[in-house]
Amino acid sequence: MRRSLTPVGVLLVLALFTDSPCSARGSSHCRSTDSEDMRPHSVTISEFGAVGDGVTLNTKAFQNAIFYLNSFADKGGAKLFVPAGRWLTGSFDLISHLTLWLDKDAVILGSTTSKDWPVIDPLPSYGRGRELPGGRHQSLIYGRNLTDVVITGDNGTIDGQGDIWWRWFRTGNLNYTRPHLVELMNSTEVVISNVTFLNSPFWTIHPVYCSQVAVQNVTILAPLDSPNTDGIDPDCYISTGDDLIAIKSGWDEYGTAYARPSTNIIIHRVIGQTRTSAGITIGSEMSGGVSEVHAENLQFSNSSTGISIKTSPGRGGYVRDIYISDVTLVNVGIAIRFNGHYGEHPDEFYDPNALPTIERITVKDVRGENIKMAGLLEGIEGDNFLNICLSNITLNVTSASPWNCSYIQGYSASVDPEACEPLEEIISREHYSDCYHLTNHLLSSSHQKRSAWLLSQ
């Protein structure tokens, strides 16, 4: 299956980054990912009876090893070493103060039997499984209410063997929403680095209701036609069957009630492609609110859309104070797309009059070659998207009508082709404060070397 793979997108369903992003250098809250994590206690998975033949099911071995290592949580933590081999397993839970370390020739394989992926409750901010009502299958590697967790190694591999799940999805043979490869809930001080992720059944890396999460030096791979294999990975290469980076915060009335915003998010150095979706997307599930997102140094190619914001009447919530800069697009259908009528609701109980607030969105320093359309910016009648600011954007567009805009308001400067009429007013000193600019806090955080901070809901 490797032959058909291309680097896949990492799902960033981002949640609750209410704390400041921590630095890979000089912060006790996040561990450096440049060298092997130095835990005082270490065991190898084979010590617990695991067999790396790709056939023997090792779920119990992983569970027993982690149960044993829990006794060292208050003694500096522990490391579970996965050596070379193909280690087949069902879902297993991580613990606090743990490093899961993969050798360069180690492959953790997800079981192709659905019963090895238990069914758990839906996320409270979603109210149901994302694909089907009811629960959802637990991710291959799972944890909740954890502190100080590291998933790393010498570029070993975690392979979800998602092909069977994609077939079940396409033929309507699923009873519950498909599982992710990694999901951590209500956790903090998380580092995921130097690992390759393959063939996730659904979203790839999903930190939810977390803070102080760093993902870097990660490769995520899946076929370009694999359904919904979103990912979350800055400082990485991504290619996927859905959005490369997706920032979310809950679905309609459930997201509004749970009220866990995704905020204070920094993303840099992402390269990737996605045939049918976007390089970076906010929404469409954004009902808990999304704000203070800074994304820079992005390169997207051979994709349907470059930069996307999706929402709908019924969502409520807000997307505000977004800053996206230094973007290169090649062979992209629509460079910038805002969709105010994305639709799709969890049930019939949503309030169609709950209109989202979309405001203070800045996109600047964008270059594009072979772009079909510069922008398709569609707000909501009676609920204009406000203070959309575009600057220093140069796109080689093949369409005779490069922009199509409705129910938006904002400003532009140095945009070629010239921006649509609602954005024609120049960003002058008078309007400078209407546009979102980086705070000193985010600006200084964004320049810390080799750090990429994400958190997800």
Residue 452 has pLDDT above 60, yes or no: no
Residue 6 has pLDDT above 50, yes or no: no
Helices marked H in 79-173: 163-170
Catalytic residue among 230, 242, 243, 321: 242
Look up residue 371 and give its amino acid: I
For tokens 């009059």, what's the residue?
Answer: 353
Catalytic status, residue 225? no
Helices marked H in 330-409: none
For tokens 């694909």, what's the residue?
Answer: 131
Question: Are the CB atoms for 306 and 336 separated by under 8 Å?
Answer: yes
Label residue 243 exposed, middle or buried (CB < 10 Å: 0-12, 13-18, 19+): buried
Note the pLDDT tens digit of each residue in 216-240: 888 888 777 777 766 553 345 555 6
For tokens 């800045």, what's the residue?
Answer: 362
Where do the domains of the chain lie, and which CATH numbers do they carry? Answer: 1-237 (2.160.20.10), 243-446 (2.160.20.10)
Residue 268: the pLDDT is 85
Q: What are phi and psi of 286, to 5 degrees?
A: -135, 25
Note the pLDDT tens digit of each residue in 175-187: 999 999 999 999 9
Least reliable range by pLDDT among 46-55, 71-80, 423-432 = 423-432
Most confident listed range (33-47, 235-249, 377-391)? 377-391
Residue 11 has pLDDT above 80, yes or no: no
Label residue 211 exposed, middle or buried (CB < 10 Å: 0-12, 13-18, 19+): buried
Question: Are the CB atoms for 195 and 155 separated by under 8 Å?
Answer: yes
Q: What is the DSSP letter of 71?
A: G
Look up residue 304 and give its amino acid: S
Nearest Cα residue to 190 out of 157, 232, 246: 232
| Mean model confidence pLDDT for the chain | 86
| Residue 339's pLDDT band (cuts 50, 70, 90) | very high
What average pLDDT score do residues 144-154 get? 97
Token pair listed for 197: 């992720």
d(CA 386, CA 382): 12
Least reliable range by pLDDT among 36-45, 46-55, 92-101, 151-160 = 36-45
What average pLDDT score do residues 421-431 get? 91
The continuous run of DSSP H or E covering 247 comes out as strand 245-247
d(CA 143, CA 416): 47
Question: Are the CB atoms for 106 and 84 separated by under 8 Å?
Answer: yes
pLDDT above 90: percentage of residues in the chain: 73
Residue 450: the pLDDT is 32
Residue 430: the pLDDT is 85
Nearest Cα residue to 409 out of 396, 419, 418: 419
Note the pLDDT tens digit of each residue in 258-280: 999 998 888 888 888 887 789 99
Q: What is the DSSP letter of 180?
A: P
- Coil, helix or strand at residue 359: strand
pTM of structure: 0.79
| Residue 15's pLDDT band (cuts 50, 70, 90) | very low
Cross-strand bridge partners of residue 376: 337, 404
Buried b (16+ CB within 10 A) or exposed e, 222-231: bbbebbbbbb
Token pair listed for 328: 């290169």
Cross-strand bridge partners of residue 87: 108
- HSE (side-chain half, CA atoms, 13 Å) at 19: 18
